[in-house]
Amino acid sequence: MSTFSMEKHQLTGRSLIAGETAAGHGETFFGFNPVDGRALEQEFFSASIEDVDCAVNAALEAFAALAESTGKERSALLRSIAAAIEAAAPQLAEQAHLETALPRTPRLAGEIARTTGQLRLFAAMVEEGSWVQAHIDTADANRTPPRPDLRSMLRPLGPVAVFGASNFPFAFSVAGGDTASALAAGNPVIVKAHPAHPGTSELVGRIVSDAVKASGFPAGVFSLLFDRGHQVGAALVQHPGVRAVGFTGSLRGGRALMDLAAQRHEPIPVYAEMGSTNPVFILPGALQQRGEDLAASLHGSFTLAGGQQCTKPGVIFAPTASADGFVDKLRTATRGDAAFSLLTAGIAHAYKRAIAGRSELLTAEGAPAQDSADGHWASPGLFETTSDHFFANADLGEEVFGPATLLVHCSGIEEMLRAAHSLEGHLTATVIGTDDDLMQNKQLLRVLETKAGRLICNGVPTGVDVCDAMIHGGPYPATSDGRSTSVGNQAIYRFTRPVAYQNWPQAVLPPELQDVNPLGITRLWNGKLIPAPTS
Amino acid sequence: MSTFSMEKHQLTGRSLIAGETAAGHGETFFGFNPVDGRALEQEFFSASIEDVDCAVNAALEAFAALAESTGKERSALLRSIAAAIEAAAPQLAEQAHLETALPRTPRLAGEIARTTGQLRLFAAMVEEGSWVQAHIDTADANRTPPRPDLRSMLRPLGPVAVFGASNFPFAFSVAGGDTASALAAGNPVIVKAHPAHPGTSELVGRIVSDAVKASGFPAGVFSLLFDRGHQVGAALVQHPGVRAVGFTGSLRGGRALMDLAAQRHEPIPVYAEMGSTNPVFILPGALQQRGEDLAASLHGSFTLAGGQQCTKPGVIFAPTASADGFVDKLRTATRGDAAFSLLTAGIAHAYKRAIAGRSELLTAEGAPAQDSADGHWASPGLFETTSDHFFANADLGEEVFGPATLLVHCSGIEEMLRAAHSLEGHLTATVIGTDDDLMQNKQLLRVLETKAGRLICNGVPTGVDVCDAMIHGGPYPATSDGRSTSVGNQAIYRFTRPVAYQNWPQAVLPPELQDVNPLGITRLWNGKLIPAPTS
HSE (side-chain half, CA atoms, 13 Å) at A97: 15
Inter-axis angle of helices B177-185 and B71-87, to 10 degrees? 150
Q: What is the mean pLDDT of residues A232-253?
A: 97
Q: How far apart are CA B196 and CA B193, in angstroms?
A: 9
* Confidence (pLDDT) at A488: 96
Query: What does the pLDDT look like over A178-214, one tens digit per residue?
Result: 999 999 999 999 999 999 999 999 999 999 999 999 9
**Nearest Cβ partner of A476 from B150, B266, B507?**
B266
Averaged pLDDT of chain A: 95
DSSP E strand boundaries for B173-215: 189-192
Contact status, residue B351 vs residue B319, Cβ threshold 8 Å: no
Averaged pLDDT of chain B: 95
In this model, does residue B1 exceed pLDDT 50?
no
* Confidence (pLDDT) at B375: 82
CB pairs under 8 A between A and B: 228
CB-CB neighbors (< 8 A) of A483 in chain B? 157, 269, 496-498
Three-state SS at B157: coil
Domain covering A18-274: architecture = 3-Layer(aba) Sandwich (3.40)
In this model, does residue B535 exceed pLDDT 60?
no
* Torsion angles phi and psi, residue B499, rounded to 5: -130, 135
* Confidence (pLDDT) at A4: 46
Interface check B135 vs A, CB under 8 A: yes
CB-CB neighbors (< 8 A) of A435 in chain B? 505, 507
Contact status, residue A339 vs residue A370, Cβ threshold 8 Å: yes
Q: Is the dihedral of CA B115, B116, B117, B118 positive or negative?
A: positive
**Nearest Cβ partner of B150 from A259, A442, A467?**
A467
* Confidence (pLDDT) at B398: 92
* Confidence (pLDDT) at A308: 95
Query: What does the pLDDT look like over B250-259, one tens digit per residue?
Result: 999 999 999 9
Query: What does the pLDDT look like over B111-154, one tens digit per residue?
Result: 999 999 999 999 999 999 999 999 999 999 998 889 999 999 99
Q: How far apart are CA A35 and CA B240, in angstroms?
A: 44
What is the torsion angle, in degrees rounded to the nearest 10, for the CA atoms of residue B50, residue B56, residue B58 and residue B61? Answer: -140
In this model, does residue B493 exceed pLDDT 50?
yes
CB proximity under 8 Å: A 25-64 to B: 63-64
* Confidence (pLDDT) at A243: 98
* Confidence (pLDDT) at A374: 73
Amino acid residing at B366 = G
A499: nearest CA partner in chain B: B453
For chain B, percent of residues with pLDDT exceeding 90 = 93
Judge residue A144's burial from the number of C-beta atoms within 10 Å of its C-beta, 0-12 exposed, 13-18 middle, 19 or more buried. Answer: exposed
Interface check A1 vs B, CB under 8 A: no
Query: What does the pLDDT look like over B187-196, one tens digit per residue?
Result: 999 999 999 9
Interface check A481 vs B, CB under 8 A: yes
What Cα–Cα distance (Å) separates residue B264 from each residue in A450, B123, B182, B237?
19, 33, 21, 9
* Confidence (pLDDT) at A416: 98
Q: How far apart are CA B323 and CA B289, in angstroms?
A: 10
Cβ of B266 within 8 Å of Cβ of A151? The answer is no
CB-CB neighbors (< 8 A) of A425 in chain B? 266
Query: What does the pLDDT look like over B68-88, one tens digit per residue?
Result: 999 999 999 999 999 999 999
| ipTM for this model | 0.96
Strands A362-365 and B426-432: unpaired
Strands B38-45 and B28-33: antiparallel
In this model, does residue A83 exceed pLDDT 90?
yes
* Confidence (pLDDT) at A2: 39
Separation in Å, CA of B240 to nearest CA in chain A: 12
Domain limits, chain A? 18-274, 280-457
Query: What does the pLDDT look like over A127-183, one tens digit per residue?
Result: 999 999 999 999 999 988 899 999 999 999 999 999 999 999 999 999 999 999 999
A452: nearest CA partner in chain B: B499
Catalytic residue list contains A310? yes
Query: What does the pLDDT look like over B436-473, one tens digit per residue?
Result: 999 999 999 999 999 999 999 999 999 999 999 999 99
Question: Per CATH, which fold does B16-22+46-132+156-274+486-493 belong to?
Answer: Aldehyde Dehydrogenase; Chain A, domain 1 (3.40.605)
Query: What does the pLDDT look like over A14-57, one tens digit per residue?
Result: 999 999 999 877 799 999 999 999 999 999 999 999 999 999 99
* Confidence (pLDDT) at B372: 54
* Confidence (pLDDT) at B2: 39
Q: How far apart are CA A361 and CA A392, in angstroms?
A: 14
In this model, does residue B8 exceed pLDDT 70?
no
The radius of gyration computed from the CA coordinates of chain B, to the nearest angstrom, equals 25
B452: nearest CA partner in chain A: A499
CB proximity under 8 Å: A 144-203 to B: 145, 147-148, 150-152, 155, 157-158
Q: What is the mean pLDDT of residues B50-73?
A: 98
Band of residue B534 on the pLDDT scale cut at 50, 70, 90: low
* Confidence (pLDDT) at A372: 53
Contact status, residue B236 vs residue B225, Cβ threshold 8 Å: yes
* Confidence (pLDDT) at A151: 98
Contact status, residue B119 vs residue B82, Cβ threshold 8 Å: yes
Q: How far apart are CA B429 and CA B449, in angstroms?
A: 8
Three-state SS at A26: coil
Band of residue A7 on the pLDDT scale cut at 50, 70, 90: very low
Q: How far apart are CA B302 and CA B311, in angstroms?
A: 9
Contact status, residue A420 vs residue A441, Cβ threshold 8 Å: no
* Confidence (pLDDT) at A373: 58
Interface check B499 vs A, CB under 8 A: yes
* Confidence (pLDDT) at A69: 98
CB-CB neighbors (< 8 A) of B466 in chain A? none
* Confidence (pLDDT) at A371: 61
HSE (side-chain half, CA atoms, 13 Å) at A185: 29
CATH class assigned to B280-457: alpha beta
Separation in Å, CA of B512 to nearest CA in chain A: 13
Q: What is the mean pLDDT of residues A72-96?
A: 98
Amino acid residing at A326 = F
Running DSSP on this structure, what letter comes out for residue A535? -
